[in-house]
Chain A
Amino acid sequence: MTTISHVAPQDAALPKVKVDVLPLLLVPLLALLMLPLVGSFPTWVTLTIAGLAMGMMVFMMASGLTLIFGLMDVLNFGHGAFVSVGAFTATLVLLPMKSWVEADSVLMNLSVLGLAILLAMLVTGLLGWAFERIIIRPVYGLHLKQILITMGGMIVAEQLIHVIWGAEQIPLQLPTTFRGAFIVGDAALEKYRLIAVGVGLTVFITMFLVLNRTKVGLLIRAGVENGEMVEALGYRIRRLFVGVFMAGSALAGLGGVMWGLYKETLTAAIGGEITVLVFIVIIIGGLGSVGGCFIGAMLVALVANYAGFLAPKVALVSDILLMVTVLLWRPQGLYPVAKR
Chain B
Amino acid sequence: MIRTLFSGDLPRSRLLSAMLLAVLVGLALAPFLFHGARSLNVAATICVFVVLVASYDLLLGYTGIVSFAHTMFYGIGAYGVGLALHGMGPSWWAILVGTAGALAVSLVLALIIGLFSLRVRAIFYAMITLAVAAAFAVVASQLSDLTGGEDGRTFKVPELLQPGFHLIDGEILGRAIDGKLITYYLVFFSALALFLLMLRIVNSPFGRVLQAIRENDFRAEALGYRTVIYRTLANCLGALIATLAGVLMALWLRYVGPKTMLSFEVMTDILLIVVIGGMGTIYGAVIGSALFILAQNYLQVLMAQASASLSGVPLLANLFHPDRWLLWLGVLFVLSVYFFPTGIVGRLRSKALARRAP
Which chain A residues have a beta carbon within 8 Å of chain B's beta carbons? Answer: 75, 77, 135, 138-139, 143-145, 147-149, 151-153, 155-156, 159-160, 162-164, 166-167, 272, 275-276, 279-280, 283, 287, 313, 316-317, 319-320, 323-324, 327, 340
Interface size counted on chain B using CB atoms at 8 A: 40
C-alpha spacing A156/B66, complex, angstroms: 20
Q: State whether A164 and B275 are in contact (beta carbons under 8 Å apart), knowing that A148-B66, A152-B330 are contacts in the complex.
A: no
Contacts of A287 in B (CB 8 A): 123-124
Query: Is A163 touching B135 in the complex (CB atoms < 8 A)?
Result: no
C-alpha spacing A167/B142, complex, angstroms: 26
Given pairs A283-B131, A316-B139, 13 additional interface contacts (CB within 8 A): A75-B123, A135-B334, A139-B337, A143-B121, A144-B122, A148-B333, A156-B327, A159-B330, A163-B315, A163-B319, A276-B130, A276-B131, A320-B135
Q: When the two chains form the complex, which single residue of B128, B135, B323 contacts A283, counting CB atoms closer than 8 Å?
A: B128
Q: When the two chains form the complex, which single residue of B142, B264, B324 contacts A159, counting CB atoms closer than 8 Å?
A: B324
Query: Is A147 touching B66 in the complex (CB atoms < 8 A)?
Result: yes
Q: State whether A147 and B334 are in contact (beta carbons under 8 Å apart), knowing that A163-B315, A313-B142 are contacts in the complex.
A: no
Q: What sequence of 0s and 1s flags, for each residue 292-320 of chain B, a beta carbon within 8 Å of any chain A beta carbon?
A: 00000000000000000000000100110
Q: Is the interface of B mostly helix, strand, loop or mixed?
A: helix
Contacts of A275 in B (CB 8 A): 130
Q: When the two chains form the complex, which single residue of B64, B128, B142, B264 contacts A272, counting CB atoms closer than 8 Å?
A: B264
C-alpha spacing A313/B140, complex, angstroms: 12
Q: What sequence of 0s and 1s flags, for each residue 316-348 of chain B, a beta carbon within 8 Å of any chain A beta carbon?
A: 001101011011011101100110010000000
A-B CB contact pairs (8 Å), 5 listed: A75-B127, A77-B126, A144-B122, A155-B333, A276-B130
Query: Is B135 touching A156 in the complex (CB atoms < 8 A)?
Result: no
Q: How far is the CB of A153 from chain B (nearest CB, A)?
A: 7
Query: Is B324 touching A148 in the complex (CB atoms < 8 A)?
Result: no
Is B220 located at the chain interface by the 8 A CB criterion?
Answer: no
Q: Is the interface of A mostly helix, strand, loop or mixed?
A: helix
Q: Which residue of A lies closest to B334 (CB)?
A: A152
| Residue of A145, A151, A317, A319 most packed against chain B (CB within 10 A) | A151
C-alpha spacing A340/B121, complex, angstroms: 9
Which residues 102-126 in B have Cβ within 8 Å of A in the complex?
Answer: 116, 121-124, 126
How many Cβ-Cβ contacts under 8 Å join chain A to chain B? 97
Contacts of A320 in B (CB 8 A): 131-132, 135
Q: Which residue of B lies closest to A157 (CB)?
A: B330
Q: How far is the CB of A139 from chain B (nearest CB, A)?
A: 8
Q: Which residue of A lies closest to B134 (CB)?
A: A276
C-alpha spacing A156/B338, complex, angstroms: 15
C-alpha spacing A323/B128, complex, angstroms: 9
Is B268 located at the chain interface by the 8 A CB criterion?
Answer: yes
Contacts of A279 in B (CB 8 A): 127, 130-131
C-alpha spacing A163/B322, complex, angstroms: 11
Q: How far is the CB of B76 from chain A (nearest CB, A)?
A: 16
C-alpha spacing A333/B330, complex, angstroms: 33
Q: Which residue of B lies closest to A324 (CB)?
A: B116
Which residues 200-240 in B have Cβ within 8 Å of A in the complex?
Answer: none
Q: Which residue of B lies closest to A73 (CB)?
A: B123
Q: When the two chains form the complex, which single residue of B121, B124, B330 contacts A156, counting CB atoms closer than 8 Å?
A: B330
Q: How far is the CB of A267 from chain B (nearest CB, A)?
A: 14
Is B138 located at the chain interface by the 8 A CB criterion?
Answer: yes
Query: Is A163 touching B327 in the complex (CB atoms < 8 A)?
Result: yes
| Residue of B139, B268, B330 most packed against chain A (CB within 10 A) | B330
Contacts of A143 in B (CB 8 A): 121-123
